Structures are given as structure tokens and as C-alpha cells.
Amino acid sequence: MRQTTRERLDASAREILQENDRGGYTVPARGLYPFQWNWDSCLVALGWAAFDEARAWQEIETLFGAQWDDGMLPHIVFQRPDPGYFPGPEVWRTGRTPATSGITQPPVAASCVRRILERARDRPGAEAAARRLFPKLLAWQRWFHCMRDPDGSGLVAVLHPWETGMDNSPAWDEALARVDVAPDLEPYTRRDTQHVAAAERPTAAEYDRYMTLVQLYRAHHYGPEIVRQAPFRIADVATNCILLRADRDLLWLAGRLGLDDAPRAEIAGWIARTEAACAHFRDPASGLWHSYDLRVDARAPTPTHAGFLAFWAGVGGAALADRLESWLAGTRYGLASVRAEDPRFERRRYWRGPVWAIANFLIGAGLAESGFDRLADRLRKDTAELIAEHGFFEYFDPGDGSGCGGDRFSWTAAMWLAWAGRELA
């Protein structure tokens, strides 16, 4: 890749973040996603850190300004009104200021804080910001381990596909099909398909079940009892691997910041418990990692790219790397979110086949840390080529590379700045 091309893409990526900046937080994309999203903001902060460290810290601190008293960090913060999105605060009705949703998302925050701190140019400012955030990170991860794993099994539950960040993954098909659509489901009008082709978004049947779950949890005021009553209760392999990595990074932060009063033994206990529970995710027949359906006590039938987040968590090995190699062979660009040979593969429909820059980053970084440099380089180079050839789209067709979903997407721009565009020839 010519240096001039990289410089042009660097400038475009910075421009996208600045265009989507709303003063302390970044929207994922204009129109389609007009609010602040949890894991989007943390990953976007990595992009800000490439050229404006203070703004990167502000992104994460603004997000944690909406943290609930029990430690939960919601998946959407409605920082300002926008009638163009559904479901908005009038649907969630959490009674919070600022208004928020009532569910969470994968806890990438601690890992992003560590990454920004390790690479910081302003070390005193970075350490001060990390110190301010540490108790909030601790509270959120404790919430996961206590509220979403009340029996101490080592498997934390997600109660809605939106909590996984991978909304319509085929890993949820069976579990979501068992959710009976509420007979009194409130009428609604989707807004996403006004911005993006319906063929690239979740189906109407899936959305009815999404909204059924929202309506049910709202009736219980999003209280702790919903974890046992939820009709959808999955130990998502992505969320559990991301949490395991976050716990490791939280422990590192405690040491780096000299926090002698940090509950190191408690965090180490979380790590040991989750590591032991990872056996639930491994399918001994295929060697792939699957999410685990807690309602039926069995692995979800369909494996997805989420299983390769084992590398991000530090628990992936050579056998799983071999499976990844085979997975990559099925498409022109990697990493497809579902194997091309799988009957549920849909190359352009959201999380049922497309390539996502953020997933490639998390898996690729984990591969590099685990010593699988060639596979890590493949993911980074494919991501860079997709962006260079097709633009900063939300996700990409793994066959021809064309962009799908929202355009001028913040976390794709951030992944270019923080990872895909670095050190490329």
C-alpha cells in the first residue's frame, strides 16, 4: 500500500470521527445510529487516541457518566433527543438521566483503557484518567460476575441478542425461536431499514422477539430477577471471552496504577472461574467454540467467528488456529462471521456472514499476542484492503468486499487508525 494512500485514508478516518463527534461522545454513524453506544464508544476511543488522547479519554468517561448505581453500563445512552431512531428512550423507560437503555453490551472498556494507557504520549494525563475510571470498570465487571452469574458457574448470561453486540447471529436462532412473541406487543415502526437495505438487517420475525424481550424486562424494571426469568438466556462466547480479557486487563491496571487497595484476589478469582468454565464452549468433535444456551444446558448448534475471541481472552491454542485457517479458506476476505459452507451463511446480512473490522481487530490482536503472527497479519491486511478499496463501511461482503450497512462508520474508521492502517507497506 503506497504511503500516499495511507495518508489519505488516515485523513479520511480522522474526518469521520470528527464528523460523528457530538461533543464528548461519538455516534456510530449519522442517521442510522444517532446516540452513544457502549462498545462502539470504547473501540472508537482507540481511534481518537491515535491523534487526540484527551478526546479518547473523554469518550470513555462520558460513557461511564451514564453508569447505573448497581454498576451496569447500558448499551445505549440517549445523550440528546432524536426521533429518527427506534427503540428510543420512550420505549425503554428506564427513568435515568441521561436516558439509557436497560441492557448492556460486551465489556471491552477495561481492555481499551489499558491499550490507550500503554501507548499514551501524555503519561501523567493518561494515568490520571485511568485512575478515575478504575472503580467504574471494577463495578461494571463485578456486576457481570454477580448479577449475570448468580450461581457462580463462571458463565455470565446475556438476556437479549442486542447485549451480545451481534444481534442476529445464527447462534441465537434456536434460543430466539423459543421466545413467544408477546400477544400484547406494542405496535412499532422500525427506523433502521429506512437507512439500510432490509436484506442487510435483521428480519421482522427477529425484531418482534427483540421487542418482546424489551417489553418483558421493562415490566420488571430491569431488576435482578430477570436473569432467572428470561426466556432468552445465553452464555455468549464473545461476551465471556471479552470479559475474561477485561478481567486480566483490570488486574494489570491495578498493578500499573499502584492501587494497593484494589481487590486483586477477587479479580483473580473471576479469572480462574471463567477459565475453568470455558470448557462449556469447546465442541470436542469440531474443535470450534460455540455459545452455550443456559436454558437447555447445551451448546448453540451454529458456531460463529465469535468463538475465535478465545485468542483475545488468552485461551486459544494451535487446534483452534487450525480451524481459523480452514474458515479463512472459504471466502476471499476474512473473517466471515459465519462459515461460508454453513447453510445459515448470508454474505450481506449483518452478523450472519459479513466481515467486521472490530471483530478482526479483537481476534487479530489476540492471535498476535498468542504467537500466531501469520494469521494475525492476514486479518489485518484483509481489513486494510477492504477499507482501502471500498471505504469505511459498517461491515463488508466477504466475497467481493463491497461495503454493507452504514457508511462513514466510526468504529471502522477507528480500527483503521488504531490497527489496520498501522505499519503497512
For the stretch 203-257, pLDDT in tens is 999 999 999 999 999 999 999 999 999 999 999 999 999 999 999 999 999 999 9
- Count the Cβ atoms, other than its own, within 10 Å of residue 121: 8
What are the catalytic residues? 167, 394
pLDDT of residue 425: 42
Q: Which domain holds residue 286?
A: 3-420
Residue 63 domain-assigned (yes or no): yes
Crossing angle, helix 123-147 and helix 109-118, to 10 degrees? 160
Residue 425 domain-assigned (yes or no): no
Q: What's the number of domains the chain is made of?
A: 1
Cβ atoms of 195 and 228 closer than 8 Å: no
Q: Is the dihedral of CA 40, 43, 45, 48 positive or negative?
A: negative
Residue 272 domain-assigned (yes or no): yes
Residue 194 domain-assigned (yes or no): yes
Read off the pLDDT band of 423 (50, 70, 90): low
Going by their DSSP bridges, the two strands 292-293 and 36-37 should be labelled as unpaired
Residue 331 domain-assigned (yes or no): yes
Residue 267 domain-assigned (yes or no): yes
Question: Model pTM?
Answer: 0.97
Query: 384-419 pLDDT, tens per residue?
Result: 999 999 999 999 999 999 999 999 999 999 999 999
Interatomic CA distance for residues 224 and 351, integer angstroms: 29
Mean pLDDT, residues 171-195 taken together? 96
Cβ atoms of 313 and 280 closer than 8 Å: no
Q: Specify the CATH number for the domain of residue 36.
A: 1.50.10.10
Interatomic CA distance for residues 276 and 155, integer angstroms: 10
Half-sphere exposure of 157 (CA within 13 A, CB side): 26
Interatomic CA distance for residues 203 and 235, integer angstroms: 23
Mean pLDDT, residues 148-161 taken together? 98
- In 3D space, the residue among 19, 163, 157, 189 whose CA is nearest the CA of residue 101 turns out to be 163
Higher pLDDT, 173 or 425: 173
Q: Name residue 403's beta-bridge partners.
A: 396
Reading the block at residue 329, the C-alpha cell is: 479458506
Q: How far is CA 190 from CA 196, 249, 257, in A?
A: 11, 38, 45
- In 3D space, the residue among 325, 377, 326, 385 whose CA is nearest the CA of residue 355 turns out to be 385
* 3-class DSSP assignment, residue 262: coil
